Amino acid sequence: MVMTITPVTNPECGYLKKFKHVVDLKASGVNSRYIQWCDNHCQYNWGWHFWLNEGARKASRIPWDDDWLPPEEVTNGTKAYMSFQNYEEMIIFKITCLSA
């Protein structure tokens, strides 16, 4: 079971759930507000996942010292994505959460 700070009520949604319509968050992490918004507003399945470049993949296997933050190689080499089963929900997410 994957533990998240922000709970997801639908077991078909959440971390490592990948669907057809993908949004590049242009960040190395996923804002908890995005997760809360999806949990509250999406009727169809949705999720989030990460892509790590080779350097980030290698650095993530090395134990992190006493710091809870990942090494810079991991942060700089990671891309975060949200994905949606439903195209309309993906568009509404982009307009509501990513337009600023």
The pTM score is 0.79
Per-domain residue ranges of the chain: 20-62+71-98
Residues 49 and 24: their CA atoms lie apart, in Å, by 10
What pLDDT, on a 0 to 100 scale, did the predictor assign at position 47?
A: 97
Q: What is the pLDDT, as a whole number, of residue 63?
A: 65
Query: Which residue matches tokens 């949705």?
Result: 46
Distance, in Å, from the CA atom of 8 to the CA atom of 40, rounded to the nearest integer, reads 9
The per-residue pLDDT for range 9-52, each reduced to its tens digit, is 999 999 999 999 999 999 888 999 999 999 999 999 999 998 87
